Structure 1
Amino acid sequence: MNAETLKMNKNSWNEAAPRFFGRNPLPEYGPLAPREDELNLFGDVAQAKVLEIGCGSGHSLLYLHQKKAGELWGVDLSSVQIETARSVLKDIQPEARLFESPMELDPGLPHGYFDIVFSIFAIGWTTDLEKTLSNVHRYLKQGGIFLFSWEHPLYNRIKAAEGRCTVVKSYLEEGPYVHEAWREPAIMQQYKLSTYINTLIQTGFQIEKIIEDVCTDEAILHQHVNGWYSLEKAKLVPTTMIIKCRKG
């Protein structure tokens, strides 16, 4: 775990939080990706104990409350995001339990407790993938579900123009990088898809589904097409990966 990186990212997210208020929460998994109302990966969440890693503004937890989830828990690095989530979820009963903490550290969450742990477009911010996944594994009940989405590992390795793709950085190169589309200095992590899969297996998860599909419905294009996510590029390489697994 890199303390300097965590400090930089915390400051960056505290500054950026207003831009990401309610941005791409469930039922969305990511830009130009299939939605939960199409995929039904969560299944019936009625009375389920759910924990979100990187809960942001709290809108994904609010969505699951509307689906009758029993308990809502969330962890986020940003103090601003946690305060925002508290405001968004202030009328929820039972009260949502939110923790300001890096995902690499266990802030005192119960072990073997949750039916579902999930993360929507946040897992790539971890400075230690193995520690984060080990934490998730401990939080879950036996047979519990872990669901997460993140930018597809190929996406920022490729540039697209005039219907053609050009590889601009090796897919094999892993580790921290400064994201060129991020306004404030912040460090993300680059991993191959196989690294996510193998680390999940080594941690004790059984992988059930991997989704790399792209959704280009006209109704959502205006929400997602921007300087970084383009329809032209999404037709050539997926923007998002979604992985569902279970604690074995």
Structure 2
Amino acid sequence: MNSDKIIENNKNYWNEHADLWFGTTALPVYGVRFPTEDDLHLFGDVTGKKMLEICCGSGHSLKYNAEKGAGELWGVDLSQKQLDNAAKLLKDNGYSAKLICSKMEDELDVPRDYFDYVYSIYGIGWTTDLQGTFDKIASYLKKDGIFIFSWHHTLNYCVAWSCDERKEVFEDEKLVMTKSYYDESYFKMPVHDSEIVLCNRKISTYINALAKAGFMVEQLVEESDDKSLNATGGVDPKTKKAKMLPISFCIKARKL
């Protein structure tokens, strides 16, 4: 499947299922079983800042930054249905943003060397051109501008329980490698009544692409939230997995 077909497949999924994901995985949440912005403070004071969100989804992260006093908000998403939901959410709450329906792989119709922050909450991993996307994001940011993004941790797709997760007893079960960490090929994943197409990239692939695009990584967070780490007793399999390996990760980088 080539990149155009992958993008079209995923675009169709989001246009058809946007309402099912309304308000999920948005700031202050960075990802599944992961510390929040309230814990990490990666953004700091955004008062008056110009901010661009890649894969803005239903607009909840834009709303979050609007409530924090951001000066100018822009959002990009592949799905027009997502943008329609975002526009309504923001309008209903007295906010607005410049919303653009576009692939993140394209040259966006946004100013260059303009934004204080570009960010993506569980969205950047959808790109079919990681290096090109990072290069473009760097061009949108001012010097010393900040790029923050989160995504599924690579290990989460490589490790699974050696049993059916629907079982109630896991005391004797083990996590096993089911996929090579080095395998960055695209794969299909059934979701709802459809399927999405993703690529499970190594952490080093993200770091090296950032460096090539002219970023300096200031912080890499790959840990589980305190609630999962401190859970005791007969915890569910997803929590037990989160106690043993990161489910999500987040990177904060600065444009040099």
Shared fold per TM-score greater than 0.5 = yes
Distance 1:93 1:204 in 2: 36
The answer to whether the Cα contact below 8 Å between 1:26 and 1:60 also exists between their aligned partners in 2 is yes
Other structure's SS at 2:183 match: coil
Other structure's SS at 1:90 match: helix
Other structure's SS at 1:43 match: coil
Is 1:28 aligned to residue 25 of structure 2? no
Distance 1:194 1:182 in 2: 31
Deviation of 1:91 after TM superposition, in Å, equals 5.2
Identify the residue that residue 204 of structure 1 maps to in structure 2: 214
Other structure's SS at 2:154 match: coil
Distance 1:104 1:6 in 2: 10
The answer to whether the Cα contact below 8 Å between 2:157 and 2:200 also exists between their aligned partners in 1 is no
Report matched runs for 1:46-57 at 5 Å.
46-57=47-58
Gaps spanning 5+ residues in structure 1: where? none
The answer to whether the Cα contact below 8 Å between 1:160 and 1:232 also exists between their aligned partners in 2 is no
Other structure's SS at 2:187 match: strand
1:3-53 per-residue CA deviation (whole Å, 9 max, x = no partner) reads 111111110111121111000210000011000011100000000000100
Identify the residue that residue 204 of structure 2 maps to in structure 1: 194
* Greater Cα shift, 37-46 or 93-102: 93-102
Other structure's SS at 2:250 match: strand
Distance 1:121 1:182 in 2: 18
Distance 1:108 1:237 in 2: 39
Give the residue type in structure 1 aligned to 2:34: A
Other structure's SS at 1:179 match: strand
Give the residue type in structure 2 aligned to 1:36: E
4+ residue runs over 6 A deviation: none
Identify the residue that residue 68 of structure 1 maps to in structure 2: 69
Identify the residue that residue 99 of structure 1 maps to in structure 2: 100
Distance 2:144 2:193 in 1: 40
1:119-144 per-residue CA deviation (whole Å, 9 max, x = no partner) reads 00011110110111111100000000
Deviation of 1:95 after TM superposition, in Å, equals 3.0
Deviation of 1:175 after TM superposition, in Å, equals 2.6
The answer to whether the Cα contact below 8 Å between 2:87 and 2:96 also exists between their aligned partners in 1 is no
Identify the residue that residue 152 of structure 1 maps to in structure 2: 153
The answer to whether the Cα contact below 8 Å between 1:216 and 1:231 also exists between their aligned partners in 2 is no
Aligned residues: 241
Other structure's SS at 2:57 match: coil
Distance 1:2 1:32 in 2: 30
Of the two, which has the highest radius of gyration? 2
Other structure's SS at 2:186 match: strand
Identify the residue that residue 176 of structure 1 maps to in structure 2: 186
Q: Structure 1 pair 27/94, CA: closer, same or farther in 2 (3 Å)?
A: closer
Deviation of 1:106 after TM superposition, in Å, equals 2.0
Other structure's SS at 1:89 match: helix
The answer to whether the Cα contact below 8 Å between 2:63 and 2:95 also exists between their aligned partners in 1 is no
Query: Sequence identity of aligned pairs in percent?
Result: 44
Other structure's SS at 1:27 match: coil
Give the residue type in structure 2 aligned to 1:19: L
Deviation of 1:160 after TM superposition, in Å, equals 2.6
Identify the residue that residue 252 of structure 2 maps to in structure 1: 244
Give the residue type in structure 2 aligned to 1:203: A
Q: Structure 1 pair 58/184, CA: closer, same or farther in 2 (3 Å)?
A: same
Give the TM-score taking structure 1 as reference length. 0.92
